[in-house]
């Protein structure tokens, strides 16, 4: 009887000791860099200048609705990811958001490390996270409850029945990149799929 109790206590101690070593890092998709009291357009201009001064290229400033700016950015380091693998080019651009809310203007960005795990990138995406943190602020991660482990992110898909990231749905194939670009641009210009540029 005493042996059985000691055995249970020993196993419990082993289990408790093993838990911290098995705890995995968790990642969230977005980082809230900071909130500003300045006017919305002024914050957009300031964020663009900070990004450009830190080696990022602002590729577009998409305005989905009033008081919201979605900046798509890249850099030489991000573009180099395109050479890593068949699908790694998906990580060659990141989004930076500037959004008017009740108590100010929020500046946030897509977490490169989260993206790297979800897109199965082998390169160290932490360098891009550090670059954005140095440029815009380290802030607070958000957007996924408790966050997801690397293991979960590498198996991530939006919902049951959808493709995994490394098994994409192919919309079409073309003889060259230029032919593909021409087809996409023509489709957007003609609004054939009720979708415009």
The answer to whether residue 193 scores a pLDDT higher than 50 is: yes
Q: Give tens-digit pLDDT for 115-124.
A: 999 888 888 9
Report the alpha-carbon distance of residue 136 to residue 108 in Å, rounded: 8
Long-range contacts of 36-41 (CB under 8 A, 24+ apart): 36/104, 36/105, 36/107, 37/104, 37/105, 38/105, 39/105, 40/67, 40/69, 40/98, 40/100, 40/105
Q: What is the pLDDT of residue 5?
A: 55
End-to-end CA distance of the chain: 75
Q: Give tens-digit pLDDT for 164-180.
A: 777 887 889 999 999 99
Q: How confident is the model at residue 1 (pLDDT cuts 50, 70, 90)?
A: low
Tally helices (H) and strands (E) across the chain. Answer: 7, 8
Q: Give tens-digit pLDDT for 18-58.
A: 444 445 799 999 999 999 999 999 999 999 999 999 999 99
Domain locations in the chain? Answer: 26-153, 167-197
Q: What would the two tokens of residue 161 be?
A: 């029945």
Give me the chain's average pLDDT, please: 86
Report the alpha-carbon distance of residue 116 to residue 118 in Å, rounded: 6
CATH of the structural domain 26-153, one choice from 3.30.310.70, 3.40.47.10, 3.30.365.10, 3.40.50.970: 3.30.310.70
Q: What is the DSSP letter of 25?
A: P
């Amino acid at each position: 009887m005493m042996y059985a109790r000691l055995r249970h206590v020993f196993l419990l101690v082993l289990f408790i000791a093993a838990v911290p070593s098995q705890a995995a890092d968790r990642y969230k998709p977005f980082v809230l860099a900071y909130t500003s009291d300045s006017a919305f357009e002024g914050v957009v201009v300031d964020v663009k200048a900070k990004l450009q001064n830190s080696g990022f290229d602002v590729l577009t400033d998409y305005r989905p609705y009033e008081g919201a700016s979605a900046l798509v950015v890249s850099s030489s380091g991000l573009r180099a990811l395109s050479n890593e693998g068949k699908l790694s080019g998906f990580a060659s651009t990141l989004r930076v958001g500037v959004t008017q809310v009740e108590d100010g203007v929020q500046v946030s960005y897509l977490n490169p490390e989260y993206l790297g795990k979800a897109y199965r990138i082998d390169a160290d995406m932490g360098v891009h996270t550090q670059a954005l943190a140095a440029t815009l602020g380290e802030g607070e991660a958000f957007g996924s409850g408790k966050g997801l482990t690397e293991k979960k992110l590498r198996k991530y898909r939006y919902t049951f029945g959808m493709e995994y990231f490394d098994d994409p749905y192919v919309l079409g194939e073309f003889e060259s990149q230029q032919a593909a670009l021409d087809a996409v641009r023509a489709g957007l210009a003609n609004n054939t799929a009720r979708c415009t540029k």
